[in-house]
Amino acid sequence: MDQKLAESTDIDGMSFEAALAELEQIVRTLEQGQAPLDESIELYQRGDRLKRHCDARLKAAQARIEKITLGPDGQPQGVDSFDAG
């Protein structure tokens, strides 16, 4: 299997929390500036894939969120889709 495909598959199976934790570690490593150039480039690319994965997981979660609507008497009446606007 191609290494990039394996890494993408690896990331696709990660939870949001695991992907975010790895992304934070990559950011710390890059901010320290101690990694060789080639390693820094690879870390940046993996970090970008992790960020996109986290964004997609957040958007999917947001799409599933519903808000409870209340009737005139203040009692729950039903649910509406989440509206971030």
C-alpha atoms less than 13 angstroms from C-alpha of 68 in its C-beta half-sphere? 6
| Euclidean distance between CA atoms 75 and 56, whole angstroms | 34
Pair 51, 23: CB distance under 8 Å: yes
Residue 1 pLDDT class (50, 70, 90 cuts): very low
DSSP state of 73: T
Across the range 21-25, mean pLDDT stands at 96
| Euclidean distance between CA atoms 5 and 30, whole angstroms | 23
Pair 48, 23: CB distance under 8 Å: no
The model's pTM is 0.70
Instruction: Give φ, ψ of 53 to 5 degrees.
Output: -65, -45
Q: Domains of the chain, with CATH numbers?
A: 3-81 (1.10.287)
Decide if pLDDT at 3 tops 70. Answer: no
